[in-house]
Amino acid sequence: MTPLDYLLLLSLLTVVIALVAGHRSMGGVWLTFTYAAQLGGLMLMAGLTNQPDVITSSLSFTILGQSLTWRYDALSWYFALITISAGLLSTMYTAGDWGEKFRADGGNLWLLHVAIALNVLSMLILLGSGDLLTLFIGWELVSWASFLLMILAGGPSIQAAIRYITYAMGGAMAILAGLALIYGHTDSFTYPAAANILHSLSTAHLWAPLLLLTLGFGVKMALLPLHLWQAAAYAHTPGPGAAFLGAISSRMGLYALIVVLIQLVGLVRVIELPVLFSFISARDVLAWVAAFTIIFPTFTALRQNDARMLLAWHGIGQGGYMLLGLVMGDALGSAGGLMHVFNHATYQAALFFSVAAVVYRTGTADLNRLGGLVARMPLSFLAMLVGIIGLAGLPPMNGFVSKWLVYRSLMLEGEPLLFVAAVVGTLGTILSVYKLIHNMFLGQLRVEHENIREAPWSMTAPMLILSVVVFVTGLMPGLVLQWIAGIQATVGLPVIDYSLGGLDSAQGSLDMLWVVGVLFAGFGIGAVLFYSGGRTHRVHQLDNYAGGHFLSADIRYHYSDNFYPGLMRLIGPLYRYSFAWLESAVQSGLGLLSLSTQGFYRRVAPANYALVTAVLVLLWVML
Amino acid sequence: MDALHILIELTLMPLVAFVVGLFMVLMMRRIAARIQRRVGPPLLQPLYDILKLYGKQTQISHGILHDIGIIMAVGGYIAAETMLPVPGMNGIADKAGLITLAYVLMVPSLGLALGVGQCANPNGSIGISRALTAMLAYDIPFVIVIFGVAWQAGSNNLVDIIALQQVDGIASWGIVQTPLLAFAGLFALHAILGKHPFEIYIAPAEIATGPMVEMGGKYLGGLFVMQCFQLYTAGVIYTSLFLGGGENWLTFLVKSFAVVAVPICIAYLFPRFRTEDVVRLVWKWPVMLGLIGIAFVMN
Amino acid sequence: MSQELTRMLDTLTKDIAGAKVTLKRARRMRIDVDADALPALLELLQGRGSYVHLSAISCVDWIDDNQFELVYHVWSYESNSLVSAHTRIPRDPGVYLSIYDLYKPAAFFERDIHEMFGLYFEGSPSMEKFILTEWEGPPPMRKDFDAEAWVRDTFTERDYNPEWLKELTDAGGGIAIRPQDIRK
Amino acid sequence: MIKDIPIIAEQAQQPRRTNPLAHVFDELMNFARSRSLFMLHYCTGCGAIELPPAMTSRFDMERLGIQPMVTPRQADILLVTGYVSIKTLKRIILTYEQMGSPKHVIGICSCTVNGGMYWQSYATAKKLDEYLPVDLYIAGCMPRPEAVISGLQKLIDNIKHGKSDNWKDYYQRYDHYLGNQQHLFGNNWQTPTDVIGEAREYGLFGPQTLGQHTELLESVQKPLQPLEMKL
């Protein structure tokens, strides 16, 4: 019984406990302990990160001559760590008062616990895939488990979930076709066999499977043309469910892409694989898809008026950074991309938890009906503040380190336009996260929110744990970079030479210990300078300069709607919803196709039509 | 680099920055006065303003976040000063490159944005939304210029960039090697300073000085100190990127004052652009020039 | 030029009983008409007489005859002439008909007259306070309201003290010397 | 020009300042305060048309360190120019209370002194210092910019010698001022600024701060406690 078996069994146990005790109030607490046990089981395998070896699971069987094996290496260990901790924190969030209110409002708490446990189990199975077949099986399990998590809230989430599953099914069929093509060449599903065939395949032959696999995995990662389903699906999932999905679910696509692109095909091959009759290589295509995935969703998020939709759109945008970093292929870029997976998981979960806490207290996430909550919900404000600093990628937090690595690799590789695209994405994020925190927590406190209280401890604890993690990994990025160095060694990427504070290289290093230290020293001096002045006198919210006007509580003077009018006047006409038009075009095309094929089998008298086809088949077989 | 040496540098650099910044603010107000054919303020006027503001009796605050906003505004710039190498003192420039400096320069404006948010004043919120849009506008040419210079110098460490430019005197200055990037940088610098044509977020007549609407006493004093740091930082960044940094203090100060004087002379001749015109202008010319400059640098 | 204007106005107003047209200046006529015929006159002036612009309604308080006099100044862009229609209404009920349906600007003039003279116009869109939002006292423009008495009992008078100027004159300033003399 | 308005209430005794530098520090503060005055850009009446020429190239107030500022929070001097209609007086008092002290009020034009040519008008307030402590009057039916600047220099001298502390009078005799204001505006007159809280915080309580007028205000006042962070 290898450590991997213990992990899988524990995860199975969690699902069983969720089924049995999910509806009971103590059930959530039990589940949290089992997730903690899973985390412990994972720590047993922590040895994977420092030397590139593999732990195989004893669970393996053969069907029709194909052997299915499960094994863990540093890459899957890293993703499993994020998955299990995301599951742990969201279950801790659900176990407390949020769960009680969710059940009281008619939500199915039992199904939510089961869905999260199933998601974690299926993700662990996907991460452990030893060969292409298990990869596909794990992929299907994950997409169905997340479908279950999305659909359980009912109402608008059903429509979003069905849209997701059509995308996922399309993606899965593409992956199956890709695998079939590879099987055609290698007639075996194991990774080494697939690897040496794909190395030697000619470009014409290689393009088909590569394109199909990338499209398939791109659906889950919400790459640009296939991203329309994710925002609505994640936003309408109940609070902690959305946090779990936002943190890790769409990164499974990235894991599978790394396995296929880097381990099987090999990044060197991808870099110089030319696109037919054009001068650009496959890497440029992927890089520009990633760059546009950064820009368009971020500027769509800028216009959202619902906090959850805004965060979900940012989830798609940040996925672009991860792919951009990986596709660069050098030590810095891939380290930046991989570290961004961890960073994004931490602050995206913290932000979704904070928004769920505000929805728990005020009942709405509409940015035009909130305001001034910092005076009533300071801890949720703190969690959101740390989250948005991380999401925007500003110095003290970990988001900055991974974005710095991506920028530095773009600089070294000499890609000015990609660099500008990434910076435009970051600035768009800064604008929209300030709109988020300003409309929710700053400005005028409404009369009806005057006596709400801070969210209960069971909800603020996970938020604050995540905020501490975001800050600590920002201060000492070396902790995460050591796992990433292990991954780079196993996956075959150039390894990054990291130090505890960050990266020290000849062409300009980053030492977050010094940068954050100096920043806080500056804040200290600023505080000394500030408190050397006179004593401050706090004044009431209405004691405000309004051009000689007497402000009163019934006037709503909080500026929140159409928050960036100047910018929108300039780039407003660019929002032509062209991707939504593309999607509806594909939809109507498929509808037309299905209508025309209907003509064949929906006859007035189906019987004789069946007879004719049977005779034709017989003839064909005979000849 | 032993700890004591670093400690001295970390305290000395902000002080030098503040004093030089005071004289830059004085130069700015004198130039403005001369353009309007006025006498202009006396020598130590900026210092008197700051002393008076810190000495006021009642300090009005709207909450703890309002105070933290000002602390982050001043503290952010103090931290940014230590990353700017000056003759004789390199601070932590080698530990944090150009990109980190560009980000640390964003921390003060975002801290101030949080502070102004809690003042719950619609003028402040409108001012902040315009300030962030202007930041989105002027950061793109600034980043293109950083890319060009870092690509040409091979490293994004300011100390190396300065060393590279001081190799053989004027001929190796950034402005001579890459004139297009230098001009794009000057244009972006003008927008960063937020002086007149790009002053939409302080528009006194429309939104009562935008973010500063509820800042009195030591809050306004903190913002005046931040203005000194802002002018100094803008001047020093440009000199170290394009004018070969400082061999000795004299030439360094002359270059920094000259760099800051250019946008200010232009500033007081122009009325205010609307927000979208600021974005359209800054995204059109400096970005194009910067990209062409990079094209020259790259091959 | 002004003869045929008066002839035109005479023919216009001949079917209104008691309308008396007097020519004040080349392009300025005065029509005196009694209260209930005024709306009809204005309708005629606006319709047939092309007097489309109501520039003002002014009110005069004849306290001795216990009457208000309302003057409607209407202007015509075609004949470039002004007609001011005068009418007298009794002071005590202080109610008159609004001409808002003829001229839209009348709403503001009537609201102002209501605030200043207490004259109520039926059919006028709004009769609330217009400028004197802080004023609770009687309509101040009426002649029976003595502003000076109200000021005397609301405010206190500042006693004049010549020493205040002593220091100024000692310093050589404050004496009324014309600026051109100082310059010599 | 009226030299000084005598402060009727006796000076609230300041706690003995022990350290020897206290005097030097006060001297420095008064000097800095006199050399840098921010004038509130609030044109209350007709006299304000004299201020732009005082600021621009011919007379240039910036030589004296005076800058026009837009919001009361940033301003030190409130120039009440021209007639003070009752409607404007409400806004003047609101703005005055929002200014950070030490603050100074200068009544420009004769209308603020004794009502000027609107002396018998029902709509204007006659004596400004009944409602606000006024440091300085500049008479004239719109005084020329030279007069305005000489008035400002007079104020600068007063501040330099620490003689311009009339703003404390508003806190120490708040009941008197509030009474006059309620007499003019009616009994449910209130501003969103918590003047009594400010007086208590900065130790400017005088014997006449509280009285029957402030009780009337308490009964009418909407709550003015600041929004404290609550866990």
Ordered domains of chain C (ranges, CATH): 2-183 (3.30.460.80)
Residue D41 included in any domain: yes
What is the C-alpha separation between A488 and A495, in angstroms, rounded?
A: 5
What is the C-alpha separation between C80 and C100, in angstroms, rounded?
A: 23
Let me know: does A391 contact A313? Beta carbons within 8 Å: no
User: Band of the pLDDT at C184, cuts 50, 70, 90?
Assistant: low
Residue B195's pLDDT is what?
85
- Interface probe, candidates D122, D129, D150, D181, chain C, greatest C C-beta count within 10 A: D122
Residue D170 included in any domain: no
**Which chain A residues are closer than 8 Å to D73 by Cβ?**
545
Report helix, strand or coil for D58: coil
A445 touches chain D (CB under 8 A): yes
Q: What is the pLDDT of residues D207-216, one digit of tens each?
A: 888 889 989 8
Report the number of secondary-structure helices (H) and strands (E) in chain D: 9, 7
Q: Which 11-30 residues of chain B touch chain D by CB within 8 A? A: 29
What is the C-alpha separation between D81 and D70, in angstroms, rounded?
A: 16
Where in chain B are the domains? 3-298
Residue A72 included in any domain: no
A469, A495, A521 — which closes off a domain? A495
Q: What is the pLDDT of residues D78-132, one digit of tens each?
A: 999 989 999 999 999 999 999 998 999 999 998 998 888 898 899 999 999 899 9
Question: For residue C31, what are its two tokens?
Answer: 């029509």
What is the C-alpha separation between D143 and D136, in angstroms, rounded?
A: 14
Residue A163 has pLDDT above 60, yes or no: yes
Domains in chain A, number: 2
Provide the CA C116 distance to its chain's centre, in angstroms. Answer: 10
Residue B76's pLDDT is what?
93
Question: For residue A224, what are its two tokens?
Answer: 């640009």
Residue D229's pLDDT is what?
77
Q: Which 134-173 residues of chain B touch chain A by CB within 8 A? A: 135-136, 139-140, 143-144, 147-148, 150-151, 154-157, 160
Host domain of residue A597: 585-622
Could you tell me where the DSSP H helices lie in B166-267? Answer: 174-177, 179-193, 204-207, 217-242, 249-267
The torsion angle over the Cα atoms of residues A22, A28, A32 and A35, rounded to 10 degrees, is: 20
Percent of chain D at pLDDT > 70 equals: 92
Residue C75's pLDDT is what?
93
Q: Which residue(s) pair with D37 in the sheet? A: D66
Residue D1's pLDDT is what?
46
Let me know: does A515 contact B100? Beta carbons within 8 Å: yes
Residue D5 has pLDDT above 70, yes or no: no
**Looking at the whole model, is its pTM more than 0.80?**
yes
What is the C-alpha separation between C16 and D12, in angstroms, rounded?
A: 79
ipTM of this predicted structure: 0.88
Inter-chain CB proximity B213 and D73 less than 8 Å: yes
Residue A126 included in any domain: no
| Distance (Å) of CA A572 to CA A568, B257, B291 | 5, 40, 25
What is the C-alpha separation between C87 and C33, in angstroms, rounded?
A: 6
Q: What is the pLDDT of residues A416-425, one digit of tens each?
A: 999 999 999 9
Inter-chain CB proximity D226 and A538 less than 8 Å: yes
Question: What DSSP state is assigned to residue D142?
Answer: S
Q: What is the mean pLDDT of residues B246-257?
A: 90
A478, A495, A512 — which closes off a domain? A495
Question: For residue D136, what are its two tokens?
Answer: 């300085």
Let me know: does A498 contact A488? Beta carbons within 8 Å: no
Residue A319 included in any domain: yes
CA distance B158 to chain D (A): 38
Helix axes A331-362, A457-475, angle to 10 degrees: 160
Q: What is the pLDDT of residues A494-509, one digit of tens each?
A: 888 888 877 877 777 8
Q: Domain containing D40 — which CATH number?
A: 3.40.50.12280
Q: What is the mean pLDDT of residues B126-141?
A: 93
Q: What is the mean pLDDT of residues A342-363?
A: 94
Let me know: does A15 contact A50? Beta carbons within 8 Å: no
Residue of A241, A249, A220, A250 lying closest to A157 (CA atoms): A241
Residue D10's pLDDT is what?
47
Q: What is the DSSP string of D149-160?
A: HHHHHHHHHHHH
What is the C-alpha separation between B19 and B41, in angstroms, rounded?
A: 17
CA distance D150 to chain A (A): 29
Percent of chain C at pLDDT > 70 equals: 93
> What value does the mean pLDDT of chain A take?
89
CA distance D119 to chain C (A): 8
Q: What is the mean pLDDT of residues A521-534?
A: 90
Residue A311's pLDDT is what?
94
| Distance (Å) of CA A158 to CA A222, A534, D25 | 19, 58, 71
Cβ contact C–A (≥3 pairs, < 8 Å) = no
Residue with tokens 């190396």: B160
Percent of chain A at pLDDT > 70 equals: 100
Residue of B nearest to D69 (CA): B204
Residue A41 included in any domain: no
CA distance C148 to chain D (A): 5
What is the C-alpha separation between B259 and B247, in angstroms, rounded?
A: 16
Inter-chain CB proximity D100 and B59 less than 8 Å: yes
Residue of A288, A229, A598 lying closest to A425 (CA atoms): A288
Q: What is the mean pLDDT of residues A100-105?
A: 90
Residue D2's pLDDT is what?
46
Residue A307 included in any domain: yes
- Element at B60 (helix H, strand E): strand B59-61
Residue of A354, A275, A269 lying closest to A310 (CA atoms): A354
Cβ contact D–C (≥3 pairs, < 8 Å) = yes
If one counts every other C-beta atom within 10 angstroms of the C-beta of residue A252, the result is 24
Q: What is the mean pLDDT of residues A198-209?
A: 81
The mean-pLDDT minimum among C123-127, C175-179, D52-56 falls in C175-179
Q: Which of D73, D94, D230 comes nearest A550 by C-beta?
A: D94
Residue A534 has pLDDT above 70, yes or no: yes
Domains in chain D, number: 1
Residue D13 has pLDDT above 70, yes or no: no
Host domain of residue D58: 21-163
Report helix, strand or coil for B246: coil
What is the C-alpha separation between C47 and C29, in angstroms, rounded?
A: 18
Residue D49's pLDDT is what?
92
Q: Which residue(s) pair with C74 in the sheet? A: C54, C83
Q: What is the mean pLDDT of residues B24-32?
A: 94
Residue A549 included in any domain: no
User: Band of the pLDDT at C174, cuts 50, 70, 90?
Assistant: low
> What value does the mean pLDDT of chain D take?
87
Residue A50 has pLDDT above 80, yes or no: no
Size (chain B), residues? 299
Residue A127 included in any domain: no
Q: What is the mean pLDDT of residues A149-176?
A: 91
Residue of A nearest to B78 (CA): A522
CA distance B214 to chain D (A): 6
C144 touches chain D (CB under 8 A): no
Residue A215 included in any domain: no
Q: Which 408-437 residues of chain A touch chain D by CB within 8 A? A: none
Residue D57 included in any domain: yes
Q: What is the mean pLDDT of residues C44-72?
A: 91
Residue of C nearest to D185 (CA): C134
If one counts every other C-beta atom within 10 angstroms of the C-beta of residue A512, the result is 29
Residue C1's pLDDT is what?
59
Q: What is the pLDDT of residues A281-311, one digit of tens each?
A: 888 889 999 999 999 999 999 989 999 999 9
Q: What is the pLDDT of residues C13-56, one digit of tens each?
A: 777 777 788 888 888 889 898 888 899 889 888 888 888 999 99
D193 touches chain A (CB under 8 A): yes
Q: Which residue(s) pair with B60 in the sheet? A: A537
